[in-house]
Amino acid sequence: MNGFKQFLLRGNVIDMAVGIVVGAAFGTVVSAFVKDLLTPFIAAVVHKPDFSGIAFTINSSKFMIGDFINQLISFLLVAAAVYFAIVMPVTRLMARLEPPPAPTTKTCPECLSEIPIAAKRCAHCTSTLAA
């Protein structure tokens, strides 16, 4: 029982649980945004608010593709909202916070060629380089 208690109290499990709860809450917010704002906007543009009535029949089998279209549009709107509202800004922020990469080359003071940073002699002009 002691090992199980340590497992539960490790930071990874608690962080994951918090992430799942926050993700579920965010999912409901995004779903409401799509359902209440974006879908009515699309309905206003295309003059058909609900595609669930679209169906076709083959050999007495009715294929209700309208509901699938509704769910597909909802998924695409949620994915776009998450990408443009969360992924892009966080990616930009992380790029700004990341330090620039360390240089791997330097310029030879004699011939101005690019040489590896650890080189002690220039490969182009064979001049000895200072440390």
Instruction: Give the DSSP per-residue string, 18-87.
Output: HHHHHHHHHHHHHHHHIIIIIHHHHHHHHS-S--TT--EEETTEEE-HHHHHHHHHHHHHHHHHHIIIII
CA 63 vs. chain centroid, Å, equals 34
- Indicate the domain borders of the chain: 2-97, 101-131
The reported pLDDT for the residue numbered 50 is: 66
More confident residue, 16 or 88: 88
- Report residue 13 as tokens: 């499990």
User: CA 81, CA 41: separation in Å to the nearest integer?
Assistant: 14
The reported pLDDT for the residue numbered 114 is: 93
Share of the chain above pLDDT 90, in %: 10
Distances (CA, A) of 131 to 13, 114, 119: 49, 16, 9
Mean pLDDT of 36-57: 74
More confident residue, 14 or 57: 57
The reported pLDDT for the residue numbered 106 is: 92
Angle at 71 between CA 31 and CA 76, to 5 degrees: 65
Average pLDDT along the chain: 81
Question: Does domain 2-97 sit in CATH 1.10.1200.120?
Answer: yes
Q: What is the CA radius of gyration of the chain?
A: 29
Instruction: Work out the pLDDT band at 42, boundaries 50, 70, 90.
Output: confident
Residue 61, beta-bridge partner list? 58
